[in-house]
Amino acid sequence: SNRRSSSCRSNRRSSSGRKRRVIVQKEQCFSLGKITKLHGYKGAVVLHIDSSTPQYFKELESVLLEINQELVPFFVSSRGTLNGKKLVLSFEDVGPNEAKGIVNASVYLPNNMLPNPKKDNSFYDKAIEGFTAVNQGENIGQIAEIIEQSAQNLFLIQSDDNQYLIPVVEPFIERIDHKKKFIYFDLPEGLLDL
């Protein structure tokens, strides 16, 4: 597994100041959010984290920005405190002029930085939309979307003839196979009949 993840991790640029092009394949990454605007006058920007568990990403050290349809590594030189889903970041070698050029850029991270549900109760939700849902060995449909609510997020699972709403809670989820795009549930009896 080491080899797979390393291909999406970027090397720091050479100290000569020459910017090294690192081409990263989008398939090995997941969408984290977007740079929405400038912050102040010194080149800081606001990252909107498109996740119901933004706290998982509050200590980012580097991100991949989509520039001219390529994913380019940027290294974080300073960051503010997470405020809701917003995080203020400054990047190495990005001053006020360069910062204007990255506003509205989509932000990605390597798949190996996806939260591990067993470890910390969080799921990177956008990354599992479209995954096949399996409950106790039976295919019950696909994850159509994650519905975010203040009290309880819900998986919307769509099959040919049914829709299910399943609470996003740790005990219901056995494991997530990101490679094969499967999510395995162990749901209480009767939950799918509701």
CATH of the domain at 176: 2.30.30.240
Q: Are residues 130 and 105 in the same domain?
A: no
Mark residue 136 as left, alpha or beta (left: phi above 0; alpha: psi -120 to 50; beta: remaining): left
Domain C-terminal end among 74, 91, 111: 111
Regarding whether 135 and 49 lie in a shared domain, the answer is no
Please provide residue 159's backbone torsions phi and psi, each rounded to the nearest 5 degrees: -115, -175
Same domain? 13 vs 77: yes
What distance in Å separates the CA atoms of residue 113 and residue 111, rounded to the nearest whole number? 5
Domain boundary, last residue among 86, 111, 136? 111
Question: 66 with 125, same domain?
Answer: no
pLDDT bin (cut points 50, 70, 90) of residue 58 is confident
pTM of this prediction? Answer: 0.54
Indicate if 84 and 16 belong to the same structural domain. yes
> pLDDT > 70: what percent of the chain?
80
pLDDT, tens digit (0-9, with 9 covering 90-100), for 110-152: 888 876 554 444 455 667 888 999 999 999 999 998 887 767 7
Amino acid at 91: F
CATH of the domain at 78: 2.40.30.60
Do 23 and 95 belong to one domain?
yes
**Cα–Cα distance, 73 to 127 (Å, whole number):** 20
Both structure tokens of 53: 């568990």
- Number of domains the chain contains: 2
Domain of 160 in residue numbering reads as: 120-193
Which residues lie across from 146 on neighbouring strands?
Answer: 155
pLDDT recorded at residue 128: 83
Give the whole-angstrom CA distance, residue 28 versus residue 9.
Answer: 10
- 75 and 155, same domain (yes or no): no
78 and 158 both lie in a single domain: no
| pLDDT of amino acid 23 | 63
